[in-house]
Amino acid sequence: MNLAERWLAELANRKLRRSAHRTVTEPEADIRAWINEWNKNPKPFIWTKTADEILETLAAYCQRINDSGHYGIPLKPWRLPHSGFV
């Protein structure tokens, strides 16, 4: 996930899901106000795991759900880390 996506998730979780808007212009003003507050004291996102650790966790999860015995929509091999597909 890139940092822009992470920042937008932060915006959605901290502001948009907790707000009620009655007009189309209200959310825009709300978002701009939140951005201005954020920019007063910005904090960098700090990764707590390496990319390899994240991919290992994801691979283990994918293995668990693939071995669960449930057969639904098959996963695309190019989306599985370390799947052996080229």
**Mind listing the pLDDT tens digit for each residue in 39-64?**
898 887 777 888 889 899 988 888 88
Label residue 81 by pLDDT band (50, 70, 90): low
- Whether the per-residue pLDDT at 85 is higher than 50: the answer is no
pLDDT: is 74 or 66 the higher one? 66
- Helix, strand, coil content of the chain in percent (nearest 5): 55, 0, 45
- Whether residue 71 is predicted with pLDDT greater than 70 in this model: the reply is no
In the block, tokens 């390899």 appear at 52
One-letter amino acid of 27: P
Model confidence pLDDT, tens digit, residues 6-29:
888 888 887 777 777 788 888 888
